[in-house]
Amino acid sequence: MTASQIAGVSAIRDRIGEITTRIESLGSSFAAAKASSTASAATASTASATSTASDFASVLAGADLSTATGVDALIAAATAKTATAATTSTATGDALVAEARKYLGVPYVLGGTTAAGLDCSGLVQRALGALGVDMPRVAREQMTTGTPVASLADAVPGDLLVFNGGSHIAIYTGNGKMIDAPQPGDVVRERDVYATPTAIRRVVGTGSTTLAASAAASMTSSAASLQEILAASSAQRSALSLRLGDAA
């Protein structure tokens, strides 16, 4: 083997080492996406994104990059998991507000959970249920879901506002207003936030992007990078094999 060939083989081996390090980094990225999804609200879309991240992290951990077959299998897995992430559905704060507004004017009925009559927690449960988010029936249990928001100044449309220690709950719509089913003799309406909430909970993502969707986007980006790196890895390995064959 000539000095030039030895240098070429060494360079290829160094490149393979760099690729392996990058793949390990991408594995960490997927693990972070999984953690982010797990920490967010327990929605169907979050569960799907978490599962996708977990599955792909497992594929990365078990990948065999010593053969072309192993590289091809990992590229195929990246493609499949990216497709799964890209089709993940999302529930958002804006969507929750829009759903709750469908019930404006519905009469207050204690214990009501239908369009014929709703109480405060029935409205929250029904609106979120329409978006695929399962919620407890009563306000005192609903106030334990999701993640806490520090103050009304930090609240965004779709956050849940809890009052009087959990005896009443509403959906924040932004600009100091909320939707709720106030009391007997009243109807579901949108009005000013009338008092400082006991607690504020975020059970869906903000605006039009949920944490689950963010995780899916992260996975899609990582998978695209992974495919590029693995394609380069396959080419480098082929070149290494040819050089070693020539040397023999």
Which 3 state secondary structure label does DSSP give 134? coil
CATH topology of domain 93-202: endopeptidase fold (from Nostoc punctiforme) (3.90.1720)
pLDDT at 15: 64
CATH 3.90.1720.10 residue ranges in the chain?
Answer: 93-202
Buried b (16+ CB within 10 A) or exposed e, 200-215: bbbbbbbeeebbbbbb
Claim: this prediction has a pTM higher than 0.75: no
Q: What is the pLDDT along the chain (248 residues), one digit of tens a residue?
A: 667 666 666 666 666 666 656 655 655 555 555 444 444 444 444 444 445 455 555 656 666 655 556 666 666 665 555 554 444 446 899 999 999 999 999 999 999 999 999 999 999 999 999 999 999 999 999 999 999 999 999 999 999 999 999 999 999 999 999 999 999 999 999 999 999 999 999 999 865 444 445 555 555 555 556 566 666 666 666 666 666 666 55
Whether 158 contacts 172, CB under 8 Å: yes
CA angle 6, 7, 12 (to 5 degrees): 100
Can you say whether the dihedral through the CA atoms of 141, 117, 124, 46 is positive or negative? Answer: positive
